[in-house]
Structure 1
């Protein structure tokens, strides 16, 4: 992967370094996909007014602990947030604006499944303040969509994509590659079609087998076969070359964007900024504290109505734990880790958080680049990032 244009073309992206991100988890889906290990649940009905009150209560709880921090992004994730009522989305956005100052260019993203959107609902989300949509397309092939357990077909996906681009200023969509039977030629054709739609952001994920999923069981039985490692590497390489040529270079290990169109919300995570997470199973990091909400929707809802929040755990993170997390998150970025910011966010110098002998060895192998101001993985390092992190992190 030497001289990979996806690496050399990506410039440092900027954001409000001390801003706060707000994550809102909507845990409900119409069905459970066989590859998904997210906290998502299928329910026959949802009391939207009750859920709205609970989510607003959790915002108030978090705002009391992060007063005055400017909010740079709000992200509605799930689950399937496009199943929410636009009135609930509007109420949450309005409450965030009431509880915290918001930056003038605040990014407000809502995840949507193509089969759960309609023109009136998208219009309602836009009127509520959503200015960015992330569509879970996952494949541009009907057979693959069926394999992945998606409820929509290709025609619905394309209709939703057109509707999104006509409604929102910024649109991203997801695709999963390295699927069973995927070849370099078939993925190249699919990716070429995806790039032709001209969105400013794409999330492109290699299919991974997650424990406790239907795919994990099929994989164990030998009835689900993935491409071999060499093919997976070729698919990854092709992805970088094609996206860079189209002006959407890699900026994070699975995400591509036109310069300036990177997900500001996810950049907060990867740069180890502060974010609050509300809703069932949501995680947060704020004030050097890790938070996690109760996972089961009904348990979370009951806890909020009883005590004003659905907190399962709050853990003060010592400096070494913060450093480990910041290292894992930051090396996912093509820009790498800024040494000065790392020390401010973790209380530890970056060189004290990594194994110096391993770092020298990884640098000699061309897997990392170290300068007085940053540490980053090279294109070759990004391909073996999990192994790289295992070597670099202090035991």
Structure 2
């Protein structure tokens, strides 16, 4: 995979805002998402977000925010005024880059699509739509509440309001064929502007899909079939000028998600909201943050303690090295080995690198960066585990 992305030693600083509520729980989802029958008190949550943002700002003085991401859950269930208030709170605590990327995840129902104009006015300049499938039968099987027609309408509306937008599709779905997936991809490409996220369905622990699979009521493609679907994905997207810049994300050059690049390049980010994670650098070293997952408990803790953190851990050099490999090798641009050495305090094992190169799993770029090869990406986890050992 060609790389034209890597530019600077400083990946940037980001703010992640987690909105944990959904209208329903998808059977494949293991994210921190919750369904509530009663309306959510958005004003109370805004106050708690303000408190958490002020707390993180004290730990990250002097940073300039280059990306803001509203994830979930379903952030498009928030009122546009709630989004605006949170963005105002971020601007009150940090310097915000004039070219900041502000992304909001949205479900493509007609009601939420009608909110797009309000989000744009609030300061959102990029949306990411959870389309997942482009036919009603598969959408129903995936537990999605929207129809294919609603999804296509939402994509069209997003394109008319936002200069930058993306949408997700999922493959390796039950009974999915290579021919059907290729046709679906081509249909998606016609509606995409310059970015698509394509995720392989995985059966996560403690999900409804896991229980159905274990009961013999859900059959997903086997490893060989999944590999065929992977191969046609790469071939189709490459021909469309949307190569993978990360294992599951495809974009034209310059249209990559800046927020996720900060994660994958091992930059700094703060996370606020129930179940959010963060990584910040302090004079004592890099720290891992995570917040209380339960929404109402998170509210109570923030209102009582001034923040929702339940984990604030100083990472060891070994842990930093492992995280750096795990994140950076997802990118087609790969990693800078000297950066790994600076973080971990050790060099990569030359014999392991040589062995993986001989097997065609990794390669060195002309700039000396180490990256996973096209042949290695389908078995990325094994490659990373080998290098980190």
TM-score bin (small chain): over 0.9
Relative distance call for 1:54 and 1:16 in structure 2 (3 A) is: farther
Structure 1 position 120, deviation (Å): 4.4
Which position in structure 1 is the counterpart of 2:21? 28
Counterpart contact for 1:82–1:117, Cα < 8 Å? no
CA distance in 2, matches of 1:390, 1:128: 43
CA distance in 2, matches of 1:131, 1:57: 25
Match of 1:216 among 210, 225, 248: 210
Match of 1:40 among 14, 33, 37: 33
Which position in structure 1 is the counterpart of 2:150? 156
- CA deviations on 1:178-223 (whole Å, 9 max, x unpaired) are 1111111000110010001132110000110000000001111121
My pick for the range that moved more, 112-121 or 227-236, is 112-121
Question: Any idea what SS the aligned residue of 1:237 has?
Answer: helix
CA distance in 2, matches of 1:111, 1:170: 13
Which position in structure 2 is the counterpart of 1:264? 258
Which position in structure 2 is the counterpart of 1:312? 310
Relative distance call for 1:229 and 1:286 in structure 2 (3 A) is: same
Q: Which runs of 5+ in 1 are unaligned?
A: 1-6
**2:192 aligned with 1:194, yes or no?**
no
**2:380 aligned with 1:382, yes or no?**
no
Question: Any idea what SS the aligned residue of 2:242 has?
Answer: coil
Which position in structure 2 is the counterpart of 1:334? 332
**2:387 aligned with 1:392, yes or no?**
yes
Structure 1 position 16, deviation (Å): 7.8
Structure 1 position 15, deviation (Å): 6.3
Counterpart contact for 1:13–1:260, Cα < 8 Å? no
Counterpart contact for 2:110–2:154, Cα < 8 Å? no
Structure 1 position 104, deviation (Å): 2.2
**2:141 aligned with 1:143, yes or no?**
no
Q: Which runs of 5+ in 2 are unaligned?
A: none
RMSD: 1.5
Structure 1 position 334, deviation (Å): 0.4
Match of 2:368 among 364, 373, 395: 373
CA distance in 2, matches of 1:317, 1:116: 44
Which position in structure 2 is the counterpart of 1:3? none
Structure 1 position 108, deviation (Å): 0.3
| TM-score w.r.t. length of structure 2 | 0.95
Structure 1 position 347, deviation (Å): 5.3
Which position in structure 1 is the counterpart of 2:59? 65
CA distance in 2, matches of 1:365, 1:341: 24
Aligned residues: 383
| TM-score w.r.t. length of structure 1 | 0.94
